Amino acid sequence: MDNVQSLETKYPQVKDLKNETPIFWKNPDYGQDADLPFTKQDILDAVDLWKRFAPYIEEAFPETASMHGIIESPLIRLDKMKQAWDGEHETPLAGSLYLKADSELPISGSIKSRGGIYEVLKFAEHVAMTEGNLKLTDNHAILGTPEYKHLFAQYGVMVASTGNLALSVGIAASTFGFKTTVYMSRDAKEWKKAKLRANGVNVVELDTDFSSVIPQAREAAAKDPKIHFIDDEGSSDLFIGYAVAGVRLQQQFQIQGIKVDRDHPVIVYLPAGVGGSPSGVTFGLKMMMGPYIHAIFCEPTHVPSVTLGMMTKLNNKISVFDIGLDGKTAADGLAVGRPSRIAGKIMRTLLFGSVTFDDPTIYKYVAQLMDTENITVEPSAAAGFTAIERAITEVPAFNTANATHIVWATGGSMMPESERKVDHDKGEALL
């Protein structure tokens, strides 16, 4: 790897990252042709798998009954929040503002319900078809029977996480009956660990950062051929699970009359930690809706791992610690020092750009969203709001009356009331 000084010469914004200065980085390779490792068909195959499992999910998780076992979140128009936003920014937002509330996804209350649960479903189907009698055409609700629970109990699922991926994988895998182990970094919230233990998950706590936890979990899983390791730094199944969001959002656009074309740009703001979930979602959006939907990633100034990796084109070969950052942030889901192995490579031509933010701003938006729309999100899930001002001032074409701005809220509905109050009070103090 080049030394930091030569990186700063080659990519001047590395110096801003090193100095923890909030930046807007526009991806110079955006929109170019690329040879991608996944296709639209991969996304449609994943949609079919979700459909096959809908009867099982509806029975195993009664909270999904109203959606008949489909795990999806609402797209909410934020007129009051937009009014509050306009009131405190020099440049008002000309277009409309929406929240894609993955904070309300059933089962684990976060975006990780998409990729994490999808990979568990895929593994369960594989075991049931190879070691049991399941056929693709069977009603997958039979996977909840004692016979299959007994089969699944002979297998294990393991994952490393700062929190939300642990919840989605842990709750889903333990419900099937898999022996489930979660390795967690020091950023993980106590309430998330408690919820996992209450679901019978073995939680292994390590006093280190997330990038150091993953290799330890990977090594532990490799010792047993019956353990499936869900790799947040490079799993194809996780990635495609997230990409299904592109199909679902396209359907919501049709229902709500939201257009995507040259005259109606859509800008989507996605918090990025290791980068897997926002990259999967972005891939899905681009495959399903084309060139006029633009994704912007949002990262803390102390942990801009995906921005650093993509800016320098080193991707997972560089970590924020290499440029002297401490990797500490209140946004626990974004506290990842080294980006995913696949995110940067696939995003090279698909990501419009990224924005970095100071931690206090996210608390302000947490409080504002609660005060104006009565919606609770966790601090990392409010990150998208931090990017709007930079996006519309740096790219005037994004600030037209026909533009649609979507903040992707990645988690929050399962937070205990005490945590919500603490976050809200911190934000109120800043407003």
Examine the pLDDT at 2 and tell me if it is beyond 80: no
- Residue 340 and residue 338: Cα distance in Å, rounded? 7
| pLDDT, position 278 | 98
Token pair recorded at residue 135 = 């056929």
pLDDT level of residue 159 (50, 70, 90 thresholds)? very high
Question: Residue 306 corresponds to which amino acid?
Answer: V
Verdict on whether the full-model pTM lies above 0.85:
yes
| Residue 12, both tokens | 């001047």
- Give dist(CA 156, CA 229) in Å, integer: 8
Tell me the C-alpha distance between 282 and 31, whole Å: 13
CATH class held by domain 4-38+67-107+243-430: alpha beta
Structure token pair of residue 317: 């070969």
4-38+67-107+243-430 and 111-238, same CATH topology: yes
Least confident of 48-52, 217-221, 308-312, 329-333: 329-333
The pLDDT of residue 315? 97
- Residue 192 CA to its chain's centroid (Å): 17
Distance between CA atoms of 165 and 174, rounded to whole angstroms? 14
Fold of 111-238: Rossmann fold (3.40.50)
What residue spans define the domains of the chain?
4-38+67-107+243-430, 111-238
27 versus 335: which is more confidently predicted?
Answer: 27
The per-residue pLDDT for 1 is 65
Q: Which amino acid is at 53?
A: F
Contact, 96 vs 405, CB < 8 A?
yes
Tens digit of pLDDT for each residue in 342-397? 999 999 999 999 999 999 999 999 999 999 999 999 999 999 999 999 999 999 99
User: Among residues of the chain, what percentage have pLDDT more than 90?
Assistant: 93
Phi/psi for 34 (5° steps) reads: -150, 150
188 has pLDDT over 90: no
Residue 287: is its pLDDT beyond 80?
A: yes
